[in-house]
A and B are shown apart, each in its own frame.
Chain A
Amino acid sequence: KAGVTQTPRYLIKTRGQQVTLSCSPISGHRSVSWYQQTPGQGLQFLFEYFSETQRNKGNFPGRFSGRQFSNSRSEMNVSTLELGDSALYLCASSLAFAHEQFFGPGTRLTVL
C-alpha cells in the first residue's frame, strides 16, 4: 500500500508570494491533517480535514488555508509569505476512527 505522498518536496519562495502544497493520503484514509515543523516550535497543528470539511483548526493566521477534495487529496495554501513561514510542512492521514496518523515525508519551504 502506498504511503502518504507530498509534493513538492522542496520549495523556495520570496516574501509576499503565495504557495500551494499538495498531499495524497493513504488509500482509504479520509482524515488529512497538516502540521508545521520548525526547530524552535516543534510540530504544530495547522488544520484537519475529513470528508472535504475542515474539522479542526490550529492557532495560525488566516494566511494559512486548506481544502480537501472528494478523493481525499488535500492542499494547503499560504498567502503573502513571510520569512517565518520557512518550515517543514507535514501532512498526515488516518482512517476514520483510528488513533494513529501516518505522515508523509514533508515539503521543505524556504522563504527568502
Chain B
Amino acid sequence: DQQVKQNSPSLSVQEGRISILNCDYTNSMFDYFLWYKKYPAEGPTFLISISSIKDKNEDGRFTVFLNKSAKHLSLHIVPSQPGDSAVYFCAARYYGGSQGNLIFGKGTKLSVKP
C-alpha cells in the first residue's frame, strides 16, 4: 500500500512557465516532507523540505506547499528552466521516526522545453 503517491509519472512544461508537481500521502503521522531531484546515473539531490507545522516553505525558485487537511503537498518551480528537467521525488518521514527512514513516492519526470 503506497503511503506517498505521485500520481503524475510525467510533466512537460515550457521554459519560463511554472512547474507544479503534486504529491499525496495517506499517513497523518508523517511530520516532515522533502523533495528530491534526480538526474540519470546520479543519486537523488535534496531540494527543499517542509515541516508539518508549516504550510509553505520557499527557497529561490522553489516553493513547497503543504495542505494537511487534504494530505497533499506540491512543489512549485518558477520560472522553470531546461536544467530543471529531471525526476522529482516526494518523500515523507514518520513523526518521532529516525531521519534515516524516508518513504518515497515513485517520482514525476519533469521535462522543461526551451
State the A residues within 8 Å of B (CB): 4, 31-33, 35, 41-45, 48-50, 55-56, 58, 90, 92, 94, 97-106
Q: Is B32 at the interface (CB under 8 A from chain A)?
A: yes
**Known contacts A90-B44, A100-B34; A31/B89 CB under 8 A:** no
**Interchain CB contact under 8 A, B104 and A42:** yes
Report if A103-B104 is in contact (Cβ < 8 Å); known contacts: A31-B98, A56-B98: no
Contact (Cβ within 8 A) B98 A45: no
Alpha-carbon gap, A33 to B43, bound state (A): 13
Q: Do A97 and B99 touch across chains, with their CB atoms under 8 A apart?
A: yes
Counting CB contacts under 8 A, is B28 at the interface?
A: no
A95 to chain B minimum Cβ distance, whole angstroms, is 9
**Out of B41, B89, B101, B104, which one reaches A48, CB within 8 Å?**
B101
Q: Complex formed: what's the CA distance from A32 to B98 in Å?
A: 11
* A98 neighbours in B (Cβ, 8 Å): 99
Q: How many residues of B contact A (CB 8 A)?
A: 24
Q: Map CB proximity to A onto B73-93 as digits: 1 under 8 Å, 0 otherwise.
A: 000000000000000010101
Report B-chain residues with C-beta under 8 Å of the C-beta of A42: 89, 104-107
| B52 smallest CB distance to A (angstroms) | 12
Q: How far is the CB of B60 from chain A (nearest CB, A)?
A: 16
Q: Which of A45, A94, A99, A102 contacts B32 (CB 8 A)?
A: A99
User: In the assembled complex, which residues on chain A have CB atoms less than 8 Å from the CB atom of B46?
Assistant: 100-102
Tell me the nearest residue of chain B to A56, going by C-beta.
Answer: B101
- Residues 88-114 of chain B, each 1 if its beta carbon lies under 8 Å from chain A, else 0: 010101000111111111110000000
Given contacts A42-B106, A90-B44, A99-B32, contact A31 B100 (CB under 8 A): yes
When distances are taken between beta carbons in the complex, the residues of chain A under 8 Å from B49 are 99-100
- CA A32 – CA B99 in complex, angstroms? 10
Q: Which residue of A lies closest to B44 (CB)?
A: A103
- Given contacts A100-B46, A102-B46, is CB(A48)–CB(B103) below 8 Å? no
Given contacts A42-B89, A102-B46, contact A33 B101 (CB under 8 A): yes
- Whether the pair A55, B43 counts as a contact (CB closer than 8 A) is no
